[in-house]
Amino acid sequence: MLGFPILSLMLLVPLVGVTLILLIGGEEKIVRRNSRSVALIATLFNFILSIAMWLSFDPSTSAFQMVEHHPWIGDKIAYHLGVDGISLLFVVLTAFIMPICILASWEAIETRVKEYMIAFLLLETLMIGVFVSLDLFLFYIFFEGGLIPMFMIIGVWGGARRVYAAFKFFLYTLLGSVFMLLAMLYMFFTAGTSDIPSLMSYSFDADVQKWLWLAFFASFAVKLPMWPVHTWLPDAHVEAPTAGSVILAGILLKMGGYGFLRFSLPMFPLASLEFTWLIFFLSLVAIVYTSFVALAQEDMKKLIAYSSVAHMGFVTIGIFVFNTQGVEGGIFLMLSHGVVSGALFLCVGVVYDRLHSRDIARYGGLVNNMPRYAAAFMLFTLASIGLPGTSGFVGEILVLFGAYQASSWLAFIASTGIILGAAYMLYLYRRVIFGKLEKADLKGLLDLSPREIMIFAPLIFVVIWMGIYPAPILDVLHVSVSNLLEQFNAATGASVGPMTGLEAGGGR
């Protein structure tokens, strides 16, 4: 335990950054430079804090740590923060991705730099808030509030069809959050508390659980996103600036998965068990359907966006098989995907900054004059495919191990996604990187700049490290995940997988 309230500090640091940026005045050029520097320093500082938090975390207990508890509204709603093994790493991931986003926007953003940096810093506070909140309403504020800066980032600094994209994003998420808020209210009045740890041990009536589960599901499914409420994602990605896409794919999507783990499984275990079939069905459709769609894409960002939907299908399968490998794999895959998809969007950003096109057909033969870029892109492509030795493999294989224990059909269909995943990613890579360098304007492109190398180096390191020595990450998860599953099994009275029935009924 640290001697100071580290979680509050992590929420505060970006806000201090915001204040400082607001105070910056003077010449336009200086404002820009200083805003960037302040944002970078604030996010880096937060990253260091997150590492300190990780180091002082005790992985041998599933209890919440670094807890802060202050009364807030009445005596039932509190400012309650804390992390456990499940949320800790998401905080670290957020703090890790943020400075990279700031660096990635260093030269790409030229207009309203000040506001842009403010939006990102606000976003950081709100995202970290989601993962550390231990009060329903506090969580809700962070969870929904995070969308506001994201809307702005897309709507102000986005591409040509940004309004359409922001609008679509808005419609979907609004739908989800209305239901979630209603459910939260109901829970509050029924259980008499908005304290998340208390609610986790409160058992709701089985029928009520169903409705609550569905209400939360509406919100989380949109966030993840699950098929068929995924169509906002490709548009949002396409229109968002590079760093916006990185945050979107890297962290915002993970809130859905985190929500399932924090709310749906522990609070509505019976409903979770009952709706397993729905999750599996939607996830499998997502994996196969979006993989095929990704194969047909002509826009780089859209392709990667669709691949995200497919990967999230793996995540939801992992979470809802309710066994150690599945859940740990699901979490690991979310972390891995956060890094890898972020990196892939940055790869798109590199060429987009130079040529202002995301059209795959516009490129080809970049390996000739951008060998370093080609190497980095290759590594992230392989990680996305789930090649052993990269972070993607560990997550995918754990999910598959988990899935197979639930049902061989599940693992069978999910595995097809691995073949298709290789197909669309390698096909993308080939069209962009390989081939002859024939287009005149491509010949002038320069390889990665020192700033870009600084962006990619830590990502490359993390992808390989997570693939070869994932123990430090898995060790954090073990106790919390097994506690989650013990609680779940105790509540449902099911130590056998839920799929035994389906397995028998699946065919004869």
Partner 1 sequence: MYVTIVFLPLLGFLVAGLFGHRLGPRGAQIVTSGFLVIAALLAMIGFADVALGGHEYRIPVAQWVSSGELDFHWALRIDTLTVVMLVVVTVISALVHVYSIGYMSSDPHNPRFFAYLSLFTFAMLTLVTADNFLQLFFGWEGVGLSSYLLIGFWYERPSANAAAIKAFLVNRIGDFGFSLGILAIFLVFNSVDMQTVFDAVPDHAGSTFSFLGYQLHTLNTICILLFIGAMGKSAQLGLHTWLPDAMEGPTPVSALIHAATMVTAGVFLVVRCSPMFEYAPLALDLVIFIGAATAIVTASIALVQNDIKRVIAYSTCSQLGYMFFAAGVGAYGAAMFHLFTHAFFKALLFLGSGAVIHALADEQDMRRMGGLRKALPLSWSFMVIGTLALTGVFPFAGYFSKDTVIEVAWAAQSGLGEFAFVMGVAAALMTAFYSWRLIFMTFHGAPRAAAKVMARVHEAPKIMWLPLALLALGAFASGFLFSDLFVGDGRAAFWGSSISAHGDGVLEAAHHAPVFIKSLPLIMSIGGFLLAYQLYLRRPDLPGKLARTFEWAYRFLLNKWFFDELYDFLFVRPAFRLGHFLWRRGDEGVIDRFGPDGISKVVALLAARLRRLQTGYIYHYAFAMMIGLALILTYIVLQEGGL
Binding residues among 393-412 for partner 1 as defined by CB under 8 A: 393-394, 397-398, 400-401, 404-405, 408-409, 411-412
Site map (CB under 8 A) of partner 1, residues 18-57, x = contact: ----------------------------------------
Q: Report the residue number, 228 or 493, with the smaller CB distance to partner 1.
A: 228
Min. distance of Cβ 305 from partner 1 in angstroms? Answer: 11
Spatial separation of the C-alpha atoms in residues 343 and 459, rounded to whole Å: 7
Min. distance of Cβ 172 from partner 1 in angstroms? Answer: 7
Q: Which of 163, 206, 457, 490 binds partner 1 (CB under 8 A)?
A: 163
Tracing tokens 């693939």 back to the chain, one arrives at 467
Q: Report the residue number, 1 or 490, with the smaller CB distance to partner 1.
A: 490
Q: Report the residue number, 58 or 475, with the smaller CB distance to partner 1.
A: 475
Spatial separation of the C-alpha atoms in residues 140 and 187, rounded to whole Å: 13
List CB contacts of 495: < 8 A, sequence separation 6 or more.
489
Q: Tell whether residue 507 is a contact of partner 1 (CB under 8 A).
A: yes
Residues 75-94 that bind partner 1 (CB under 8 A): 75-77
* Chain centroid to CA 68: 25
Q: Tell whether residue 471 is a contact of partner 1 (CB under 8 A).
A: yes
Mark the segment that binds partner 1 (CB under 8 A) among 44-52, 180-188, 442-450, 452-460: 180-188
Q: Quick check: 233 and 308 in contact, CB under 8 A? A: yes
List CB contacts of 281: < 8 A, sequence separation 6 or more.
none
Residues 414-433 that bind partner 1 (CB under 8 A): 415-416, 418-420, 422-423, 426-427, 430, 433
Q: Report the residue number, 10 or 376, with the smaller CB distance to partner 1.
A: 376
CB half-sphere exposure, 366, CA atoms < 13 A: 30
Q: Quick check: 108 and 95 in contact, CB under 8 A? A: no
Q: Report the residue number, 13 or 183, with the smaller CB distance to partner 1.
A: 183
Query: Does residue 11 sit in helix, strand or coil?
Result: helix
Q: Tell whether residue 461 is a contact of partner 1 (CB under 8 A).
A: no
Spatial separation of the C-alpha atoms in residues 496 and 494, rounded to whole Å: 5
Q: Which of 79, 186, 188, 211 binds partner 1 (CB under 8 A)?
A: 188
Q: Report the residue number, 121 or 474, with the smaller CB distance to partner 1.
A: 474
- Output the CA–CA distances (angstroms, integers) from residue 396 to 101, 280, 315, 458, in the order listed: 26, 16, 9, 22
Residues 100-159 that bind partner 1 (CB under 8 A): 137, 140-141, 144-145, 147-148, 151-152, 155-156
Spatial separation of the C-alpha atoms in residues 248 and 169, rounded to whole Å: 11
Mark the segment that binds partner 1 (CB under 8 A) among 8-16, 24-32, 228-236, 250-258: 228-236
Mark the segment that binds partner 1 (CB under 8 A) among 22-30, 166-174, 275-283, 353-361: 166-174
Taking the CA atoms of residue 29, residue 35, residue 38 and residue 41 in that order, the dihedral angle to the nearest 10 degrees is -90
Spatial separation of the C-alpha atoms in residues 412 and 407, rounded to whole Å: 9
> What is the amino acid identity at position 325?
Q
Spatial separation of the C-alpha atoms in residues 35 and 490, rounded to whole Å: 52
Residues 327-356 that bind partner 1 (CB under 8 A): 328-329
Helix (H) or strand (E) run with residue 61 in it: none
Helix (H) or strand (E) run with residue 269 in it: helix 269-274
Residues 193-222 that bind partner 1 (CB under 8 A): none
Q: Tell whether residue 192 is a contact of partner 1 (CB under 8 A).
A: no
Nearest to 140 by CA among 307, 262, 289, 304: 262
Min. distance of Cβ 54 from partner 1 in angstroms? Answer: 19
Number of residues in contact with partner 1 under rule CB under 8 A? 91
Q: What DSSP assignment string belongs to 302-333?
A: HHHHHHHHHHHHHHHHHHHT-SHHHHHHHHHH
Report the Cα–Cα distance between both ends of the chain, in Å, rounded: 55
Q: Report the residue number, 257 or 365, with the smaller CB distance to partner 1.
A: 365
* Residue 471, Ramachandran bin (φ over 0: left; ψ between -120 and 50: alpha; else beta): alpha
Min. distance of Cβ 385 from partner 1 in angstroms? Answer: 9
Residues 252-311 that bind partner 1 (CB under 8 A): 289, 292-297
Q: Report the residue number, 28 or 438, with the smaller CB distance to partner 1.
A: 438
Min. distance of Cβ 190 from partner 1 in angstroms? Answer: 14
Spatial separation of the C-alpha atoms in residues 170 and 260, rounded to whole Å: 21
Q: Report the residue number, 42 or 414, with the smaller CB distance to partner 1.
A: 414
Mark the segment that binds partner 1 (CB under 8 A) among 20-28, 98-106, 441-449, 470-478: 470-478
Q: Tell whether residue 228 is a contact of partner 1 (CB under 8 A).
A: yes
Residues 481-500 that bind partner 1 (CB under 8 A): 482
